[in-house]
Chain A
Amino acid sequence: MPGVKTMLECIPETLIARTTGKINPAKTCQPIGAMYAALGIHGCLPHSHGSQGCCAYHRMHLTRHFREPVLASSSSFTEGASVFGGAANLKTSIKNVFQIYNPEIMAVHTTCLSETIGDDLPNILKQSEIPEGKVVIHVNTPSYQGSHITGFSGMVKAMVSYLAVSDGGEKKDQLNVIPGFVNPGDMREIRRIVSAFNVKTIMFPDISNVLDAPLTSKYNMYPEGGATIAEIRDSANSSATIALGAFASNDAADLLQEKFGVTGIPLKLPIGLKATDEFIMAVRDWFGLDVPASLATERGQVVDTLIDTNIHYQGKTVAIFGDPDHVIAMTEFVLTMGMVPKYILTGTPGRQFDAEIQKLLKEAGIEGSRVKAEGDLLELHQWIREDPVDLLIGTTYGKYIARKEDIPLVRFGFPVLDRAVHPLMPVVGYRGCLRLIEQISNALLDRRDRNCLDEDYELVL
């Protein structure tokens, strides 16, 4: 194909060790995760306490991934505020936001600017005029620590620390679910699975019906979806919290357990057959319920498909990159599919990433794979150049490697900036398994059809 392999010529053939900075990062900064999480509260306006650029960038990036309006306000720091502190800017913001945009709740996150100058958010909020019946919560999201996943986790934890209140009575027969940094389609699917058990569920954040809202010609700045303040408040009274994805969800679940005695059940993101099994078993075991027949049927369909389609992908090598919770679950699933995860990389720091992946590889008897947390995509690219793989699974940023090295890419995780419909289509649960099997098989089959000789081009595959 003309054009292929002629781009990114500047990247050297051989791997040159680097120790400093990132080239083609596989993570971004905390505040965008906090903004995303905050959108999962009903009637919430996220607020970025920093200069306008942060808020502009985060809104644009989220908008590009979801193709949906993403509203958020900013403290609009100037140099003066950066020198004298941003208290006045935040107080003015709070006043204007409630007067003009009238949300139920404002969720403030900081930026590297307000963190570096040391703005004392709790104190500023205490001094702010917050209208009766309205709420302002905050989280510190210094961009120079962790990643967007850290910011997401922090905002979810802030929801608990600000909003959750115990009734003081017996725990209710209800379940908290923290879904992790996943798409609205995933959140809908997670809710559908739990609903099949007829278990009362509080899911937060819940971006469904916020970032996948229907078009009706009647624009609503605060769409119908989102966990209500009352629901998050009541999360303190649930009997358990299922935290999906350790990096994004454990902190909030831990706080619920510590503060209110709500049992935390930490699980993987329910991506793939085994992780979905674990999710369903957790609900079953906690409430002592039978697994609904409908879910058993769905599971059987996945197993049937895995047996029927293994000829397309078994034994193929794959490189997986993205956010840690996604990558861990996906690594487990490709192992279930009989594929070989050869390179596994996340941009987010954290030792448990390596430990989790190594455990999965060991169980599967796979040796020689490269695993890295806090890595970047130039490094992944150079690994692939040294020794290629059959398939790449990751975010849109992988498309440059895919084209340069002529490898198919299955888009997965956040962000996907160049393909349509994905935020509505779940990758979690058994239905998500089918979708992933379809995407992976088709990517490899399309490649086979494209590359084969005329005489090898076949009708049935």
Chain B
Amino acid sequence: MTDTERTIDEMLAPYQDTVKKNRKKHLVVKNEAAECCPQIEANTRTIPGIISQRGCAYAGCKGVVVGPIKDMVTITHGPVGCGYYSWGTRRNKARADETTPKDKIYSQLCFTTDMQEPDIVFGGEKKLAKMIDEVVAVFHPRAINICATCPVGLIGDDIGAVAKAAEERHGIQVLSYNCEGYKGVSQSAGHHIANNNIMEKVIGTGTVRKPGKHVINILGEYNIGGDGWELERILTEIGYTVNCVLTGDSSYVNIRNLHLADINLVQCHRSINYIAEMMETKYGTPWLKVNFIGIEATNQSLRHLAKCFGDPELEKKTGLVIERETARVAAALEHYRKFCTGKIAFAFVGGSRSHHYQFLLRDIGMEIVVAGYEFAHRDDYEGRQVIPTIKTDADSKNIPELHLSPDGKLYREAHEHLGMSKEQFDALRKEIPISYYEGMYPSMKVGEVMIDDCNHHEIEELVARFKPDLIFSGVRDKYIAHKLGIASKQLHSYDYSGPYAGYTGAINFARDVTNALMTPAWNLIIPPWEKTGNAGSENHA
């Protein structure tokens, strides 16, 4: 038994047997002997009473996927809290562009029906319908989202019928999402519900392909701290036209045209893989898993993408941009690497970042030794090849699966989308991971730990064993790390900094991590009167 395995046993010891048995399955220590990833349990219920990092389906649907769509009014149908907490807290930046003027941007506002007791008793449909009418009268939005909260499903409000009637009254699209908080086991259910609706109702309704030789979408990029804009900067310079970033800084107008792009790039696999897969089925659009977090990761993603079009000019320009940008940031990264090299970290983030940031950290000499997702599925850890073997349980059965078939008019084979022959495309598939994601496991090193739905108790125990220099987490765990005397960075909100993606982002990130590690106050925790003898300052780092 290795030290790490012993730590895990000790960590699980205080649990009662059923909890112990359950939690053990959510942990994998990377082992040299295992060729592929051992099965990890994921996307199953959190045990009641365990202090989990997970949120709910509403948070995944409204908070993550549909909230950022800037030119739609998103009404939360429910008591005031859900809309309030998801208002302005995710940093998905938006600005006006050629299709969306300033007066059509609503993403900084919070709309809630603020259900009261009579609405719970007698139903809230009339209130919702009235609020839609008032919102249309005041704001004249292009389209509206309605997101359900827990009581809506319980009292049986038919938000679909309210939406349909409102569409007829106002002549705009009104989408309803049954993303009640109790659906599924985490935010993940809400991602799926949002994906389904956008796929079924919005994508494919537009007819305008943006001008350009190579038109692409970036899926699962939420423009936190302006990440999406940094990617657009790079991709546009290389010669791509970015049709839409889904959903960071996205517009309803552009989402309607999503199917007219040549390829979908997938950044956050967990939250958006459904749309990528469904678009492949319906329109034949190929998708490519990318990671723009880290210099080498960005370079590789750009090289993969360039290969998809069989365009020598594009590949050449890609090489030039990679060369120039990599050189541009090299000196700065080298500077920060001096402070960061050899440091170890934990990462407990949502559904992709705990993987993506491993690359950027290695660029500055750091290593993530314990990595966990809050709401991932097995494929995010083990790779998509396990999807057919994942058993559907009672909680995931409640999330509808859309069964799509190729669109009679719009379906084209993947190679046609990319303007190459079938043979060329088959060769390409062997070379780069088209429509595939390998998961986190291959990136981890021997002895490192993958942990699903990590909880408060386990974090404390793992900290005691590994003594990390830095913890990457959400806001709830950030200050726990500080109290433990460990530096932290929020990887959902970037501690209000950013972008962290691409080249410019790498420098921002390296600077912020260095600052977190080198904060002078870390050396001042012990008061001078408690220090023995003439020992120098306590050195945290």
Contacts and interface: CB of A to CB of B under 8 A. Distances in A.
B127 interface: yes
Interface stretch (A108-116, A265-273, A452-460): A108-116
A116 B59 contact: no
Nearest to A72: B51
Kindly state the interface size class of chain B when it binds its partner: 35 or more
Given A53-B56, A76-B45, 5 more contacts: A21-B111, A52-B52, A53-B57, A74-B52, A215-B485
B150 interface: yes
B75 A21 contact: yes
B230 to A, nearest CB: 20
Contacts of A29: 79-82, 84
Contacts of A32: 81
Contact of A73 (B51, B78, B84, B185): B51
B134 interface: yes
A90 to B, nearest CB: 7
The winner among A29, A80, A144 for most chain B CB atoms within 10 A is A144
Contact of A9 (B83, B102, B134, B480): B102
B149 interface: yes
B16 interface: yes
A20 B150 contact: no
A68 B55 contact: no
Contact of B484 (A18, A74, A217): A217
Nearest to B141: A10
A90 B110 contact: no
Nearest to A31: B81
B466 interface: no
Q: Which of A82, A112, A216 has the most CB of B within 10 A?
A: A112
Given A20-B131, A113-B150, A219-B480, A95 B111 contact: no
A204 interface: no
A300 B500 CA distance: 52
B119 A144 contact: yes
Interface in B129-185: 130-131, 134-135, 137-139, 149-151, 153-155, 180-185
B150 A100 contact: no
Given A52-B55, A101-B457, A28 B117 contact: no
A27 B45 contact: no
A99 B134 CA distance: 51
Interface stretch (B256-264, B403-411, B471-479, B510-518): B471-479
Interface stretch (A59-67, A156-164, A253-261, A436-444): A59-67
Given A75-B49, A217-B484, A219-B460, A111 B108 contact: no
A97 B52 CA distance: 12
Contacts of B153: 82
B104 interface: yes
A89 B48 contact: yes
A147 B485 contact: no
A100 B151 contact: no
B485 A95 contact: no
Nearest to A92: B48
A111 B150 contact: yes
Contacts of A24: 87, 109-110
A184 to B, nearest CB: 14
A189 to B, nearest CB: 23
B113 A21 contact: yes
A215 B475 contact: no
B182 A79 contact: yes
Contacts of A97: 49
A452 to B, nearest CB: 29
Interface string A146-182: 0100000000000000000000000000000000000
Interface string B68-85: 000000010011111111
Contact of A219 (B14, B154, B483): B483
A73 B52 CA distance: 8
Contacts of B103: 9-10
A310 interface: no
A378 interface: yes
B537 interface: no
B114 interface: yes
B49 A79 contact: no
Contact of A75 (B48, B51, B79): B48
Contacts of A73: 49-51
Nearest to A66: B479
Contacts of B341: none
A360 interface: no
Contacts of A100: 14-15, 19, 49-50, 457
Given A10-B103, A400-B108, A93 B49 contact: yes
Contact of B155 (A75, A96, A116): A116
A75 B181 CA distance: 13
A96 B85 contact: no
Nearest to A223: B483
A71 B456 contact: yes
B243 interface: no
18 contacts: A6-B102, A9-B103, A21-B111, A28-B81, A52-B55, A52-B56, A54-B181, A56-B53, A68-B479, A76-B45, A79-B395, A81-B182, A82-B182, A93-B48, A111-B150, A142-B117, A143-B81, A217-B484
Interface string B470-496: 000011111110111100000000000
Given A25-B114, A78-B185, A116-B155, A95 B85 contact: no
Contact of A60 (B45, B151, B456, B476): B476
B116 interface: yes
Interface centre among A18, A94, A95, A215 (most CB of B within 10 A): A215
Contacts of B321: none
A331 interface: no
A96 to B, nearest CB: 3
A378 B150 contact: no
A79 B186 CA distance: 12
Nearest to B538: A217
Given A25-B112, A54-B81, A79 B51 contact: no
A173 to B, nearest CB: 37
B117 A144 contact: yes
Given A9-B103, A51-B56, A72-B51, A99 B110 contact: no
Contacts of A75: 48-49
A138 to B, nearest CB: 15
